[in-house]
Amino acid sequence: MNLTGSAISKSVARLESRLGTRLFQRTTRRLALTDAGIAFYSTCVGVLADLEEAELSLQVENIEPRGRIRVDLPGAFGRAQVLPIILQFMQDHPLLTPLITFSDGLIDPFQEGVDVVVRIGGADVWPERVAHRYLTSEWHTLCASPTYLARHGTPLTDQDLEHHQCIAYGWVDGNIAPWSFAGELPGAIKRQPVPARLVIGNGEGVLKAVLAGCGIAQLPSWLINQQLKDGTLVEVLPQLATEGMPINLAWVKSRQRLPKVSALLETLTASLRPADGILGGPGRT
């Protein structure tokens, strides 16, 4: 906005004086919104969104998506699968100015001022004012590098994994994610602890370790499909692959009529549905 920090500080001080309340909690180390600031910000975001929608509704001849559009994506999945789609979408619509952020936690797009959200999971906890659309589900696939399998052999059953070097996903608190295996009955899934030789708290990091020949891992198919196709990874125990978390789109209901929002929703829906082979594993849709 071509404003100095001091100018913004004075503007905020005038606003707080006019409202008669503190909007920011200031310390020597950080600046954070107060409860009143959070409430006021949320209201202002909604007002600005309504104003934008009102302005565009008067421009009935303007159907070309334009203006700023904010999108929030999950980290690894967003970078690998969604970002290329949005970049092409931006090229097709030169009047758009996308603002793309990455986060894995659940957010309220209304409060955060986000137009479109892509999330793995979370469809059952969106607030009422947020619409969501199921796209597909990821697949959890066991895989290893040809080099590792040549050295250690290929497991034939899930019990054989106890004698292999397994690479697991873990959290900072020390917990390790169990692996999911297809059960004997259709649709049944069993989860069991992993005899982990290596634990990494990032899916892309786990992938690098598998490619380096460090062991066997269970990864979402969207992360490893290309490696499976080019042979740098091999699927292990394919009969145990399971359906994972759902992939969802979410957006504020009142903003769906904006050309920029509706066009992006249509593009992401068409591109991320399983017919294109991005999300399903080998031979799956």
**pLDDT (tens digit, 9 = 90+) per residue, 34-62?**
999 988 988 888 788 777 766 766 654 45
Asked whether residue 191 is assigned to any structural domain, the reply reads: yes
At 195, phi and psi to the nearest 5?
Answer: -75, 75
Is residue 115 within 8 A of residue 264, CB to CB? The reply is: yes
Out of 227, 242, 257, a domain closes at: 242
pTM > 0.85: no
| pLDDT the model gives residue 231 | 96
Q: Look up the CATH number of the domain holding residue 35.
A: 1.10.10.10
Q: How far apart are CA 216 and CA 210, in angstroms?
A: 6
pLDDT-wise least confident of 101-115, 143-157, 190-204, 260-274: 101-115
Asked whether residue 202 is assigned to any structural domain, the reply reads: yes
Segment 173-214, tens digit of pLDDT: 888 989 999 877 777 788 888 889 999 988 899 999 999 999
| pLDDT the model gives residue 281 | 47
The structural domain count of the chain equals 2
Asked whether residue 274 is assigned to any structural domain, the reply reads: no
Asked whether residue 45 is assigned to any structural domain, the reply reads: yes
**Strand duo 166-169 + 130-144: pairing:** unpaired
Mean pLDDT, range 6-24, rounded to an integer:
92
Q: How far apart are CA 209 and CA 220, in angstroms?
A: 15
pLDDT-wise least confident of 31-35, 41-45, 148-152: 41-45
SS3 content of the chain, % helix, strand, coil (to 5): 40, 25, 30
| pLDDT the model gives residue 161 | 93
Give the domain range for residue 33: 1-62
For 262, residues 6+ apart whose C-beta sits below 8 A from its C-beta are 256
Given a cut of 60, is residue 266 above it in pLDDT? Answer: yes
pLDDT-wise least confident of 89-98, 117-126, 270-279: 270-279
Mean pLDDT, range 251-265, rounded to an integer:
89
Q: How far apart are CA 215 and CA 195, in angstroms?
A: 11
Out of 29, 47, 62, a domain closes at: 62
Asked whether residue 5 is assigned to any structural domain, the reply reads: yes
Asked whether residue 281 is assigned to any structural domain, the reply reads: no
Given a cut of 90, is residue 118 above it in pLDDT? Answer: yes
Share of the chain above pLDDT 90, in %: 54
Asked whether residue 171 is assigned to any structural domain, the reply reads: yes
Asked whether residue 4 is assigned to any structural domain, the reply reads: yes
Q: Look up the CATH number of the domain holding residue 215.
A: 3.40.190.290
